[in-house]
Amino acid sequence: MSRMRLFAALEVPEAIKYEINAWWQLAYPRLGPDLWRAVLPHQWHMTLAFYGDVSGRDADDLAEMLAVCADASPRLHLCLTGCGIFPQASRPRTFWAGVESLSADPALKHLARCCRRAGHVTVRNRTAREAPFRAHITLARANGHLPALLDLQALPPVPELNWQADHLCLFQSILHADGAQYRQLERFECRGAQRIPG
């Protein structure tokens, strides 16, 4: 049975990508472009849960549960907030722009938790054992091991941007020699029919 590498994510609106990219064109050269492999803007998204390799039958069950998650979630009001490094400054592997709810509304974290639980039930993927959810958009990945030399304060300020996320997507990640490519498999509207269980 064929298997697909899957994850659940929120898309980033094209207008927001344009504004982030304007900042990124100034920030990226200061990171040391030879040390980092930039993610192209058309690939930018915000991962809520990663499931790994999933069989076709399990993918159908997963999609059904994600539809329930989306139906229970209100539309999300999000904002760009700062930038950072994963897993930590002393071991830089991923450079990202942070995302938060525009207010103290916990709906984003609730949706991420629901997406992780969907993986536990359908594909037995224990995503909740990973690091606590930190909403972000991956902008670059390190080319090999990097020294801890990043001074984030030297980068231009991250722009103040906000937008509304009104749908959740199931994506396939297709690995190539030059990096992953993403294909949208399903799209689920956030209808806010009920509150996601905390």
Active-site residue, 136 included:
yes
Residue 196 lies in a domain: no
Domain count across the chain: 1
The active-site residue out of 110, 120, 136, 176 is 136
Q: Give 152-177 pLDDT, tens digit per residue.
A: 788 999 999 999 999 999 999 998 77
Q: Is the pLDDT of residue 23 over 60?
A: yes
* 21: enclosing H helix or E strand: helix 14-31
d(CA 186, CA 165): 15
d(CA 123, CA 7): 12
The active-site residue out of 42, 45, 120, 176 is 45
Residue 194 lies in a domain: no
Q: Which of 18, 24, 79, 45 is nearest to 170 (CA)?
A: 45
CATH of the domain at 69: 3.90.1140.10
Active-site residue, 45 included:
yes
pTM: 0.88
